[in-house]
A and B are shown apart, each in its own frame.
Chain A
């Protein structure tokens, strides 16, 4: 089955999100209160290795497993879009202690209340799609 590898990658992601405690509301509160290095160390490590990986892929023009070049699409520049959107995201992130990935990982941990947040997130995404053209981008 072609899709199995994505399920396995997702399982690794779900496990690391759980074992790093990045899915915990408490850890997110601790981060926003600047009272522990944990989340900063976590993101800093992921980012440092991510920058090296991306650099190496570009420098050596590495290809994916099917032999296609690995392409990074530059993001279009805009300040209002990323800043306003980012702030709205952050409001919800600190409130629920979850971003989209951890939200679903929490279902696996059987914190069923998170399903309310998932419904909210889908509704929020839908509203954005519906009023997108009227927002500053």
Chain B
């Protein structure tokens, strides 16, 4: 069983478990949307004193912060106890495209060129992560949700706004992949 769990899970198992997480949260009376936590964190840090958008009762969202803590723990458990340490098995075509950019084939879950501490503390590496994160935070709040809130919860409820947001996610992602990454690397 542990051996089975330690392999990368097939997409249909993973997809089903993600739907299960959404259903569990609905049964707990909550809705699945991870990026709300970023707003809650701003508010909990006192941003509500200066900016009206953060002036709300963030304590009512404590459940989502606990979910966030769980997500970190889940990542720790998966990597420490449920991992066979194999590299991500991405397609050969992607490996070739990335190697043309100067990103070497996977040795773990993340590329050394971005996620090693050496890379992160070069100016380029630091800016990739900081600006990437900035766009994620700004964009998800502007769009009123991220992948969990729109692509899973919103689309499950057949919301047209969520479909527009997801189309936007893809337009942005394609711009980065085919325009920005070749310029950066």
Q: Is the CB of A114 within 8 A of B129?
A: yes
- Per-position contact with B for A118-137: 1 when CB-CB < 8 Å, else 0? 11111111111110100100
Interface size class of B (residues with CB under 8 A): 35 or more
Whole-angstrom distance between the Cβ of B153 and the nearest chain A Cβ:
7
Q: Is the CB of A19 within 8 A of B63?
A: no
**In residues 22-77 of chain B, which contact A (Cβ within 8 Å)?**
22-31, 34-35, 37-39, 41-42, 47, 50-54, 62-64, 66-77
**In residues 3-45 of chain A, which contact B (Cβ within 8 Å)?**
3, 5-33, 35-39, 41-45
Residue numbers in A under 8 Å from B64 (CB-CB)? 6
A128 to B39, CA, bound (A): 10
Residue numbers in A under 8 Å from B165 (CB-CB)? 82-83, 85-86, 89
A65 within 8 A of B: yes
A73 to B170, CA, bound (A): 25
Residue numbers in A under 8 Å from B154 (CB-CB)? 75
Cβ 8 A contact of A11, one of B71, B148, B151: B71
Whole-angstrom distance between the Cβ of B36 and the nearest chain A Cβ:
9
A9 to B24, CA, bound (A): 7
A7 to B64, CA, bound (A): 9
Tally A residues with Cβ within 8 Å of B.
111
Residue numbers in B under 8 Å from A124 (CB-CB)? 38, 133-139, 141
Q: A45-B16, A82-B144, A119-B133 are in contact. Are A19 and B53 (CB under 8 A)?
A: no
B102 within 8 A of A: no
Whole-angstrom distance between the Cβ of B123 and the nearest chain A Cβ:
12
7 tightest A-B CB contacts, nearest first: A14-B74, A86-B168, A10-B70, A90-B172, A108-B75, A45-B15, A120-B133
CB pairs A–B below 8 angstroms (30 shown): A7-B69, A11-B70, A13-B21, A13-B67, A13-B71, A14-B72, A16-B74, A29-B90, A33-B94, A42-B11, A43-B15, A50-B23, A64-B28, A64-B29, A65-B27, A85-B143, A86-B167, A87-B171, A88-B138, A92-B134, A94-B177, A99-B146, A101-B34, A105-B71, A108-B71, A108-B79, A111-B115, A120-B134, A121-B137, A126-B137
Residues of B near any A CB (own CB < 8 A): 5, 8-9, 11-12, 14-31, 34-35, 37-39, 41-42, 47, 50-54, 62-64, 66-79, 82-83, 88, 90-91, 93-94, 97-98, 106, 109-111, 114-117, 119-120, 125-126, 128-144, 146-148, 150-162, 164-177, 180-181
Residues of A near any B CB (own CB < 8 A): 3, 5-33, 35-39, 41-51, 53-54, 57, 64-66, 68, 70, 72, 74-79, 81-101, 103-114, 116-130, 132, 135
